[in-house]
Chains A and B, each alone.
Chain A
Amino acid sequence: MHARADAPDTAPNWPDDIFATLQRFDVRQVPYVPDAGHSKLIQRVLASSTMRGIALTTEEEGVALLAGAWAGGQRGALLMQSSGVGNCINMLSLIPILRFPFLTLVTMRGEWGEFNPWQVPMGSTTQGVFELSGVKVLRASNAAEVPAVLEAAAAQAYNALTPTAVLLSQRLIGAKVFTK
């Protein structure tokens, strides 16, 4: 469960903005590892008649899946959390080698009001891991900038074959709160 300490809305609209952008770019395969920050977007994808939501057991499966999807003529986008980025590192090597369009949307942990220290190491290195792996990084820190950031990311991923990760900041999503 997520709660935002700095805003009253509990049902944010930015996942709808993301969904609309993916739809406009004709994204057909959406692999994901279940994640609270992406839960609304996952619901939209699973209810869609044009997109296929594909639950994974680990994030690296999604990278390989998108390579196959492209060979078969479809675009995809991988949804994951910052902790899952570390699971992908070797598989990310397929992207420059096969030169397929890669877009991933990453909900961030360990960077803004985090309560769980175990999330901090991977959350702190997510951007660096991507950049060392040849993936460009864009960030959305508030709901208002989500549409423009997604548009830019999708355009460069699908039109310019520039692998791109959008980090959806923990400030945007809201720090996870556990109550006893």
Chain B
Amino acid sequence: MSKANLLDRRQVVSTLLADRKDIVAIGGLGASTNDMCAAGDHARNFYLWGGMGGAAMIGLGLALAQPKLPVLVITGDGEMLMGMGGLATIGLQKPANLSIVVLDNEAYGETGGQTSHTSAAADLVGIARACGIEDSRAVTTMAEVEAFATAVHDVSVGPRFANVKIDSASVERILPTRDGTYIVNRIRGDLGFQPI
């Protein structure tokens, strides 16, 4: 079931990554990883197929290792709810180059569309802000998505968090590679690191 006036997830993600330059992007377990791939496979895409709840923390580890690179986590509301403590850890570390986008359809789309806590109780923007991520935004328009996409490249004033209300309609599955070692080594290679 989809509500009116909600953003299209593929349009949101392709806008975030349209002029990505040197961004390293991490997808969450679920449709957000497919959305990243649909926007175009890239050597700096970190596709998550497991470890639910870990996307934001993978982003933190990467952001701390590469403080001059914009690191963008694009995940779903269910994945973010599972790793919610990570927002407090990120709020404590305050990595200026880390941005997190939650594609919030208020449902667990991968498992039959059961409603998530964001549909009626949990306000992820409020949670992120209360965890110390000052720049936490509720996003409802494509103009706001575009503004956030620009802000991501400023690696001096983050961390930042955006909760984007998206349409819950199912979209075609675009599946990226599932080979985790390949995914990580491709990122490392693109950043200039040799195999061990």
Contacts and interface: CB of A to CB of B under 8 A. Distances in A.
Nearest to A92: B51
A61 B83 contact: yes
Contacts of B96: none
B85 interface: yes
A160 B26 CA distance: 26
A3 to B, nearest CB: 31
A68 B72 CA distance: 12
A48 interface: no
Contacts of A71: 24, 46, 58, 61-62, 65, 184, 187-188
Q: Is the interface of B mostly helix, strand, loop or mixed?
A: helix
A52 interface: yes
Interface string A36-69: 0000000000000000101111101111111111
B64 A52 contact: yes
Contacts of A63: 51, 54
A93 interface: yes
A122 B137 CA distance: 40
A1 interface: no
Given A55-B92, A57-B89, A97 B180 contact: yes
A66 B62 CA distance: 8
A57 B85 contact: yes
A70 interface: yes
Interface string A120-139: 00000000000000000000
Interface string B89-130: 100110000000000000000000000000000000000000
Nearest to A66: B61
B52 A67 contact: no
A101 to B, nearest CB: 8
A90 B88 contact: no
Nearest to B183: A98
Contacts of B51: 63-64, 67, 90-91, 93-94
A98 B186 CA distance: 11
Contact of B61 (A65, A91, A99): A65
B65 A68 contact: yes
Contacts of A64: 51, 53-55, 57-58, 61, 83, 86
A69 B65 contact: yes
A66 to B, nearest CB: 6
A77 to B, nearest CB: 12
B170 interface: no
Nearest to A54: B93
A73 interface: yes
A76 B50 CA distance: 21
Given A56-B89, A57-B88, A68-B26, A73 B66 contact: yes
B57 A72 contact: no
Given A64-B54, A93-B50, A70 B184 contact: yes
B89 A55 contact: yes
Given A57-B86, A57-B88, A58-B85, A159 B58 contact: no
For the complex of A and B, list the 5 residue pairs with the smallest distance between their C-beta atoms, beginning with the closest. Answer: A68-B61, A72-B65, A64-B54, A57-B85, A68-B58
12 contacts: A55-B89, A57-B88, A61-B89, A64-B58, A67-B58, A67-B61, A67-B184, A71-B65, A71-B184, A90-B50, A99-B184, A100-B184
